[in-house]
Amino acid sequence: MTERIVLAYSGGLDTSVAIGWIQEATGAEVVAMAVDVGQGGEDLETIRQRALDCGAVEAYVADARDEFAEEYCMRGLKANTLYMDAYPNVSALSRPLIAKHLVAAARQYGAGTVAHGCTGKGNDQVRFEVAITSLAPDLTCIAPVRDLALTREAAIEYAQRNDLPIVTTKNNPFSIDQNVWGRAVETGFLEDIWNGPTKDVYDYTDDPEFPPPADEVTIAFARGIPVAIDGAPVTPLQAIEQLNQRAGAQGIGRIDIVEDRLVGIKSREVYEAPGAMALIAAHRELENITLEREQARFKKLVDQRWTELVYDGQWYSELKDSLDAFIDDSQEHVSGEIRMTLHGGRATVTGRRSDDSLYDFNLATYDEGQSFDQSAARGFIDIYGLSSKQATARNQRRG
C-alpha cells in the first residue's frame, strides 16, 4: 500500500503547490484536509475540489465553526486573552483545533505523516507540530515550505508550469490568516514599521473615522459565556458573528503592533477582531463586579500566563490544563448583563447588572442611608500603615 501524508490545506498558493512537492519528494499520496473555522471567503467545496485538481487523492473537509467558537474562542474569552495586552490570539486559538483534525484525518486515512504550509520564521510551525506530537507522538511532521526553503516566486513558477487551478500573482502584498475570532495581516509594505496601514489592509472593520450612528448592545453572560444579545438567545458562534458585524461597522477591533514572536524575532502585525474585542471588554467588566478582589488580582496573572502558553503553542500542556481549572472555577459567578455603546472605534461599557454582583449600593454611596461604618477606617489605616511607619522611624534614627 502506498504511503499517505495528510496535508493541512488552506486552498492558497503554498499548500496547493505543496501537494505536488510532497508527492515528488516522497512518493507518497497526499490527503488534503481543510477545516472551516469561520474564515469566510471561498466555499469549502470549491477548496476541496481544488485540492483534488492539484493532485490530492482524497480531500477531507470539516465544519468546525461551532467547535472552534465553543471550545477554543470561549476559553480565550474566559481568560480575557490579550497577548502583549493587545492581540486576542486570533491564529493561536485555531491551530490546536486544526491539529486535532489533522490527527483525526491521519488515523482515518492510515497516514503516518502530517504536513503543513508554515515557514520557518513564524509561530504556527511550532503550534502545529507541538500540538500534533502532543496528541499523537507516533506521527511525523513535515513542512515543505520551511524544510525546502521554497520561496513565493518558486511556488508561482511551479503552479504555472504545472497548470494548477489557482490564481498566482507576484503583486499580492499581504499574508492573511482569518477565522471567526479575527483576521491577521502581515508582510508586504507593513514590514516597514513606519508605514501606516492603508484601507485595503482591512476587511472585517469599517473606517472608525466615519462611523454610522452609535449602536447600543446588551450582552448577557452565564458563567463567563455570552448567551444572549439584546435579549435574544445566541450560541457562542452567533455571539461572535453578530458582534463582528455590529462592532466591525463601527471600526472596533483594529490592532497594529510589533509583536514578540515565539521564535525570537519581532514582527509587525495588523489584526482585526471586532467581535472578540467587544466580548472581552464586556466580559472583563462583568468580572469587575462579580469577582472577589484577591481572586480578580490573581486571575490577571493566570490570564496572562494562559495567553502566553496558547500563543506559544502549548494548548495541550499540563500547565494549561491546570490554569483552565482555575479559570473555570473563577467563572462560577460571572453571570449577568453588560450594556455597551459601540461607536467610532470604541466599545464603551455604560451599564452592568448581575444577581451575583459584589457591588453594594448602600456600602458605596456617599448619600444618607449608607451602611458603611466610616469610624472603622481610622483603626484600619493605623494597622495597614504600621509596617511602613516603623521602617521610616528606623531610617530616621539611623540618619
308 is in an annotated binding site: no
C-alpha to C-alpha distance for 234 and 148, rounded to whole angstroms: 46
384 is in an annotated binding site: no
175 is in an annotated binding site: yes
- ∠ Cα 83 84 88 (to 5°): 30
52: CB partners within 8 A, 6+ apart: 32, 59
Largest CA distance in the chain: 87
**85 a catalytic residue:** no
87 is in an annotated binding site: yes
C-alpha to C-alpha distance for 278 and 219, rounded to whole angstroms: 10
Cell of 106: 491521519
109 is in an annotated binding site: no
123 is in an annotated binding site: yes
Residue whose entry in the numeric block shows the C-alpha cell 499517505: 4
Q: Which of 14, 36, 177, 206 is catalytic?
A: 14
DSSP structure class, residue 275:
H
What are the φ/ψ torsions at residue 227 (nearest 5 degrees)?
-125, -15
10 is in an annotated binding site: yes
161 is in an annotated binding site: no
271 is in an annotated binding site: yes
**293 a catalytic residue:** no
83 is in an annotated binding site: no
Q: Which of 50, 65, 91, 124 is catalytic?
A: 124
Q: Which of 95, 246, 254, 352 is catalytic?
A: 95
388 is in an annotated binding site: no
Cell of 48: 476541496
119 is in an annotated binding site: yes
8 is in an annotated binding site: yes
In this structure, are strands 266-272 and 4-8 parallel, antiparallel, or unpaired?
Answer: unpaired
- Which SS3 state, helix, strand or coil, does residue 338 take? strand
Whole-angstrom CA distances from 385 to 298, 375, 380, 381, 391 are 23, 17, 8, 6, 10
Whole-angstrom CA distances from 140 to 55, 274, 302 are 21, 37, 33
**Contact indicator for 92, 128 with CB cutoff of 8 Å:** no
**Contact indicator for 218, 339 with CB cutoff of 8 Å:** yes
C-alpha to C-alpha distance for 210 and 344, rounded to whole angstroms: 7
C-alpha to C-alpha distance for 254 and 18, rounded to whole angstroms: 32
**175 a catalytic residue:** yes
168 is in an annotated binding site: no
C-alpha to C-alpha distance for 326 and 296, rounded to whole angstroms: 12
**256 a catalytic residue:** no
C-alpha to C-alpha distance for 119 and 322, rounded to whole angstroms: 31
12 is in an annotated binding site: yes
DSSP structure class, residue 392:
H
Q: Which of 134, 146, 175, 356 is catalytic?
A: 175
344 is in an annotated binding site: no
Binding residues for L-aspartate: 119, 123-124
Catalytic positions, written as ranges: 14, 95, 124, 175
Binding residues for L-citrulline: 87, 123, 127, 175, 259, 271
Binding residues for ATP: 8-16, 117
Binding residues: 8-16, 87, 117, 119, 123-124, 127, 175, 259, 271
